[in-house]
Amino acid sequence: MEKVIWVARGAADADRVDLRDALVGGLAPTLLAEPTVKGLSMAIDDPASDVAAPVPWPEGEPVLLATISTWLAAYDHRAAVEDRITTTAEALDLVVHGYVVTESLYTEYGESEWCGPRDWPDGVRSPGVLTVGLLQRPAGHDRLAWLRHWHGVQSPESAELQPRCRYVRNLVALPLADDAPPLDGIVDEAWPSNAHVADPDLFYNGGGDPAVVQAHVERMLTNVTAFLDLDTFRSATMGEYLFRTPSA
């Protein structure tokens, strides 16, 4: 089975209610009806995720409005899925690009002290908020060394320093179009609440101590800047919708 993530960008002033309704109420049922779709989830810039992302999005650049994750037996069998996603994107004035990825479910709900196991049904928005990060490997960085730092250093360090409920790493294997913006990774990080993203004390497990916050910020920056150029890193806050797990 292969996972394909469709990354949708659009105008910063897009109507978030229309976006959510079109994707959750319109696109999702049609994708779930496709026999090729073994799993489906979406991250959507919906009204409930109205909190600033940890890294500001550059002004004037089309913003990330949604990611649509589909699990297929093989990415070659994507024609019907691609057609439905493209049709919806055009109606919403979105630009969509697909990427074949290798998924690592590093932390699932219930595996950290910050959140219990998932107890909500398919198709219902997950509690809290998601931050979605778009990663590029900086020029000159050896791919294997870059990957080992991301997986072997940054992943466990961030789990120690931050109150993360769920963490999904997606290593990009192949863009599906020649004009797709360059991406090497797509990450989904779930947090208990919007406040946990907005408040640095909560985001960095400060416990009310500014010195602890500062120490954790410095550790995070050291780890992040060792494998990412923050000028190319993009981050957005979104709502998470889990429609069908691949094992269902």
- Domains of the chain, first to last: 2-244 (3.30.70.100)
| Three state DSSP letters for the chain | CEEEEEEEEECCCCCHHHHHHHHHHHHHHHHHCCCCEEEEEEEECCHHHCCCCCCCCCCCCCEEEEEEEEEECCHHHCHHHHHHHHHHHHHCCCEEEEEEEEEEEEECCCCECCECCCCCCCCCECCCEEEEEEECCCCCCCHHHHHHHHHHHHHHHHHHHCCCCEEEEEEEEEECCCCCCCCCEEEEEEECCHHHHHCHHHHCCCCCCHHHHHHHHHHHHHHHHCCCCCCCCEEEEEEEEEEECCCC
Please write the tens of the pLDDT for every residue from 136-155. 999 999 999 999 999 999 99
pTM of the model: 0.95
Please write the tens of the pLDDT for every residue from 61-74. 999 999 999 999 99
Please write the tens of the pLDDT for every residue from 181-205. 999 999 999 999 999 999 999 999 9
pLDDT at 246: 82
pLDDT at 247: 58
